Amino acid sequence: MQPNDTHHHAFRFAQEDVIDFARVTGDNNPLHLDADFAAQTPFKRPIIHGMLGACIFTKVLGTEFPGPGSVYLGQTLEFLRPMFVDTDYDVTFTVQSIDPAKHTAQILGEIRDTQTKKVTTRGVATLLHKEKIG
pLDDT by residue for the chain (134 residues), tens only, comes to 999 999 999 999 999 999 999 999 999 999 999 999 999 999 999 999 999 999 999 999 999 999 999 999 999 999 999 999 999 999 999 999 999 999 999 999 999 999 999 999 999 999 999 999 98
If phi > 0 it is left, if psi is from -120 to 50 it is alpha, else beta; for residue 101 that is alpha
- What integer pLDDT is reported at residue 134 of this predicted model? 84
Phi (first) and psi of residue 46, to 5 degrees: -60, 145
- What integer pLDDT is reported at residue 88 of this predicted model? 98
- What integer pLDDT is reported at residue 35 of this predicted model? 96
Q: How far apart are CA 86 and CA 117, in angstroms?
A: 16
Q: How far apart are CA 42 and CA 36, in angstroms?
A: 13
Of the candidates 117, 133, 125, 128, the residue with the CA atom closest to the CA atom of residue 55: 125
Q: How far apart are CA 120 and CA 50, in angstroms?
A: 9
Query: To 5 degrees, how large is the angle CA 126–CA 61–CA 93?
Result: 80
- How would you class 113 by CB atoms within 10 Å of its CB: exposed for 0-12, middle for 13-18, buried for 19 or more? middle
pTM > 0.85: yes or no: yes
Q: How far apart are CA 65 and CA 17, in angstroms?
A: 23
